[in-house]
Amino acid sequence: MVMVTKAPPPRPAAPARRALRLLLAAGVTAASLAAVPGTARAEGDASGPTTLTVAVSQSIDSLSPFLAQKLTSTSIHRLAYEYLTNYDPKDARTVPGFATSWKPSADKLTWTYTIRDNSTWSDGKPATAEDAAWTFNTMMTDPDAATANGSFTANFRKVTAPDPRTLVIELKKPQATMTALDVPIVPKHVWEKVGDFSKFNNDQRFPIVGNGPFVITDFKVDQYLKLKPNKTFWRGAPKFDELVFKYYKDGDAAVAALQKGEVSFVPNLTPAQAAALRTQKNIKVNDAPGRRFYALATNPGARAKDGTAFGNGHKALLDPAVRKALFLAVDRATLVEKVFQGHAVEGEGYIPPRFGAYFWKPSPAQRRAYDPAAAERLLDSAGYRRNADGKRVGKDGAPLDFRILCHATDPNDKAVGKYLQEWWGKLGIGLKVECLDSVSDPWLKGDYDLAFDGWSVNPDPDYVLSIHTCGTLPATPKDTGATDNFICDKEFDALYAQQAEEYDPARRADLVKRMQSRLYDTGYMNVMAYPNALEAYRTDHIRSITTMPEAAGNLWGQDGYWSWWSAVPAGSASGGGSGGGSSTGVAVGIGAAVVVVAGAAVVLGLRRRASADDRE
């Protein structure tokens, strides 16, 4: 465990003292200052509550655990609900969560979980195995309840709770994810009253009943979400008095808010923002290998399970030669150097290098290196020749002009889009970059040609692989499936089924790598980079906090609740919390602690929002 040394509280600077005298003269108390949303209690000031404010730019798609798929939403659910198991913040091994232990039968078709006896719902009712059984059975019997996490229960035959502390799951066939079921367990007594799971977003009545370390207390769409500590949480209550996720559409505005002390933490920084923040007093920049990939997704022909095609994707992208030529004309090394400015790794496989057992790289013969001349030859041989104006035309004589969906809140999308326009323009291919605040509507309707895509990968890769299986397509064009971009490939599906049943770690890892190889060869998904987790926080708000993994890990979007649960206010005399069995009180900075006073003249009038990642 890294020890945190408490520095003596510094004396406020002269401007801060003047501001304090003015405010006190006006009748503003220290307690009322500390209570302002978005501020943290000054070190040495034990009178007021502490608030940890996290700037986010991704909209919350739903507060229903049955529907939510975006990173911000699923991160919040990890705070509000327990899962059967959790991941150790040190090395991501499986540790107890809602279940304290688990045991498979000899044939591994029946799994018995012992549910902890010291977990209660935030409304005071006991949390039992019956809640877990109801959660899983609802997902098994209601397709709408299976929208977000149905891949985990598709192989379940029967789920029962013979007593309050015993959960039994019977499988149709072996399933390798039984110690990594990333499904929030919900309170039966609340959720059994829900009629239509496709429409219930769980955002009308507060506080929302949960059994995680935090309780959701308030929410305004694209403004904020507030949480309070769950005082009865079995692992111990969080140290901050309130946690706020505050929405910022503009990343620069979020950074400015961090500098002013309005927010405590900002994720998804650009390299330029990170460089500027490194020189700022009381701000710590965290730069670590991330769990995300950044990719080009092509529309493979949007369709539903019933076979109905929909959307308006460009037909030329159904040709593997066109997809391959486009990616041959993408210089990933330049993107890493120029766009990410070295804060990323060149992308190839689907699983980031951080997950070593599953990380895959194409063979030299298979690899699509940057080769625009080869792209030219491939298009020529496939019949996509230039017309008199130098434009590539399809077999129908129409020019190859594509659209790409871009997240307006992500400067990386815009920068990469400009490079693609230049590189593909040299091939005679046009590209329109369509930047939207939310890409979800056209994406779900199949109204796109290409899109910038990215997902955060869990220690167990099953879920992020499942979103490319045929079974995740929407039932009809009017429905919403769990698919990412409508890929349905029988060979990929067969490999997915095999890895899902394989308990041997080495054999399963080999199957996962073969799946990535197949995904790479089809060219529907082209991974360009693995971005670092580039984020920053105020050391005069946060005294210590846990990264995951413990060595060189991220704070935002963890596989668990460790960062915000463990965070210690700068004014607290207590040490950091400890995680699932390993030392996790990681010191991340100690700073001067009078930001509330020093910034008092502006903090009362400033409120804004923050940076981004969508479709995760």
For the stretch 465-504, pLDDT in tens is 999 999 999 999 998 888 999 999 999 999 999 999 999 9
Alpha-carbon dihedral sign for residues 52, 58, 64, 65: negative
- β-pairing, 568-569 vs 533-538, is unpaired
Amino acid at 216: I
| pLDDT above 70: residue 581 | no
Can you tell me whether residue 199 is helix, strand or coil?
A: coil
The predicted-structure confidence for 341-399, as pLDDT tens digits, reads as follows 999 999 999 999 999 999 999 999 999 999 999 999 999 999 999 999 999 999 888 89
Question: CA neighbours within 13 Å on the CB side: how many for 212?
Answer: 29
- Least Cα distance to 465 among 489, 440, 439 occurs for 489
Q: Residue 227 belongs to what H/E stretch?
A: strand 224-229
Q: Is 578:1 a contact under the CB 8 Å cutoff? A: yes
In the chain the first and final C-alpha atoms are separated, in Å, by: 32
The predicted-structure confidence for 164-201, as pLDDT tens digits, reads as follows 999 999 999 999 999 999 999 999 999 999 999 999 99
Residue 48 pLDDT: 67
Tokens of 411: 């400067």
Tokens of 592: 């001067």
CB atoms within 10 A of CB 606: 14
Tokens of 274: 């990170």
Residue 113 pLDDT: 98
Residues 6+ apart with CB under 8 A from 38: 51, 53, 244, 246, 257, 261, 262, 263, 603, 607
Q: What angle do CA 350, 351, 353 make, to 5 degrees?
A: 125
The predicted-structure confidence for 209-254, as pLDDT tens digits, reads as follows 999 999 999 999 999 999 999 999 999 999 999 999 999 999 999 9
Residue 31 pLDDT: 35
- Here the contacts of 370-375 (C-beta below 8 Å, separation 24 or greater) are 370/328, 370/329, 370/330, 370/331, 370/332, 370/333, 370/334, 371/328, 372/328, 372/329, 372/423, 372/426, 372/427, 374/328, 375/324, 375/325, 375/326, 375/328, 375/329, 375/427
Amino acid at 215: V
Q: Is 76:64 a contact under the CB 8 Å cutoff? A: no
- Here the contacts of 315-322 (C-beta below 8 Å, separation 24 or greater) are 315/394, 316/384, 316/394, 316/400, 317/402, 317/449, 317/450, 319/382, 320/522, 320/523, 321/378, 321/379, 321/381, 321/382, 321/384, 322/379, 322/382, 322/384, 322/400
Please report which confidence band the pLDDT of residue 562 belongs to, taking 50, 70 and 90 as the band edges.
very high
Please report which confidence band the pLDDT of residue 5 belongs to, taking 50, 70 and 90 as the band edges.
very low
Residue 129 pLDDT: 98
The DSSP annotation for 130-152 comes to HHHHHHHHHHHH-GGGGTTTHHH
- Distance of alpha carbon 192 from alpha carbon 186, whole angstroms: 10
Percent of the chain with pLDDT over 70: 85
Residues 6+ apart with CB under 8 A from 193: none
Q: Is 553:381 a contact under the CB 8 Å cutoff? A: no
Residue 551 pLDDT: 87
- Least Cα distance to 430 among 387, 459, 400 occurs for 400
Residue 13 pLDDT: 40
Q: Is 186:98 a contact under the CB 8 Å cutoff? A: no
Say which DSSP state 230 is in. Answer: -
Amino acid at 342: G
Counting runs of H as helices and runs of E as strands, what totals does the chain give? 19, 21
Mean per-residue pLDDT over the chain, rounded: 87
The DSSP annotation for 343-362 comes to SEEE--SSS-TTSTTT----
Burial 406-423 (b: 16+ CB within 10 A, else e): bbbbbbbbbebbeebbeb
In this prediction, residues 600-606 reach a mean pLDDT of: 29
Q: Residue 266 belongs to what H/E stretch?
A: strand 265-266
- Distance of alpha carbon 204 from alpha carbon 180, whole angstroms: 31
- Distance of alpha carbon 65 from alpha carbon 466, whole angstroms: 18
The predicted-structure confidence for 308-346, as pLDDT tens digits, reads as follows 999 999 999 999 999 999 999 999 999 999 999 999 999
Residue 311 pLDDT: 97
- Least Cα distance to 203 among 53, 56, 38, 61 occurs for 61
Higher pLDDT, residue 55 or 574: 55
- Distance of alpha carbon 534 from alpha carbon 555, whole angstroms: 9
The predicted-structure confidence for 98-122, as pLDDT tens digits, reads as follows 999 999 999 999 999 999 999 999 9
